[in-house]
Amino acid sequence: MQNPEYIENFVNVGLQNIRLFEYENTDSTNTRAKLFAKNRPAEDKSPAIFFARAQSAGRGTRGRGFESPADAGAYISILFYPELFATDSGKITGFSAVCVCRVLHRLMLRTAKIKWVNDLTVNDKKLAGILTEGAVDENGRLAYAIVGIGINTKKAQHSPEVAARMTSLDEEGINISPRELTDLICEEFFAKIGEIGTDATLNEYRSLSALSDRLAEIITPSGTFTETVTDVDADYALITSDENGNKKRYISGDVSAKAK
């Protein structure tokens, strides 16, 4: 797909003006951010934001598609250059989820929670998803990181399977445009970016967990397990306890809470 037309704007964070590329429709804002990062001068490490009102090839975790219908969501990618290792990507995702949840709470959606590791939910229905990607240098450090955030702002025509487990800001009584929401999230992200990897952010993530002390089904390549979620560790891995009290640690997997 050719690079579609965009409008260049700015998001103001304190004294910093961050470039924002605004698309009516694109393949994927994460794809746009990746191409931008690869093609810019190596010495230019200024952050940038990519926003679209629709995506034709949105992506979720493990290569899944992410339905991104027009006028029904805010589809955002944040490109930045953290001084972190590739193994710290979970900390970036965790911080990003906390930022989105803070904004939702300020909008008076107090029931918004984080479902490990990268979803935002309301009453166990998915409201938003986060996909962190990047490039790694020869020393294992992140050359750049991209945080993709997709948030449902209005009810849309999804496939029946998807619609049954989704919600939107509109359905939860919050009326805000995708562009306004993008500004709020990006302002929070860059104003608090120094909190990535801190104990305070980890503890806030834990307090916002939709899974704490709940029985959950964890689907992994090695099998499906039903266990009680007990914690998230410093690397944002999920800690569970099985029926015999044995602790287990997951760094990836599909998790869904069992009915309360």
Q: Which residues pair with 121 in a beta bridge?
A: 113, 126
Do the domains 215-257 and 7-207 match in fold? no
* Residue ranges per structural domain of the chain: 7-207, 215-257
Supply 234's token pair: 């410093």
User: Which candidate, 250, 72, 248, places its Cα nearest to that of 158?
Assistant: 72
User: Which candidate, 221, 216, 227, places its Cα nearest to that of 256?
Assistant: 216
Q: What is the DSSP string of 144-169?
A: EEEEEEEEE-S-----HHHHTTB--T
Whether this prediction's pTM lies above 0.95 is answered by no
- Domain 215-257 in this protein, CATH class: mainly beta
Residues of the chain under the 50 pLDDT cut:
1-2
Cα 189-190-194 angle, rounded to 5 deg: 95
> For 193, which DSSP code?
G
pLDDT of residue 225: 94
Handedness of CA 106, 257, 91, 204 (dihedral sign): positive
Residues 197 and 190: their CA atoms lie apart, in Å, by: 14
Residues 245 and 28: their CA atoms lie apart, in Å, by: 43
Superfamily of domain 7-207, CATH level 4: Bira Bifunctional Protein; Domain 2 (3.30.930.10)
pLDDT of residue 200: 98
pLDDT of residue 1: 42
Residues 233 and 53: their CA atoms lie apart, in Å, by: 35
Residues 249 and 232: their CA atoms lie apart, in Å, by: 9
Residues 73 and 90: their CA atoms lie apart, in Å, by: 24
pLDDT of residue 3: 55
Q: What is the dihedral of CA 245, 250, 256, 260, to 10 degrees?
A: 30
pLDDT of residue 69: 64
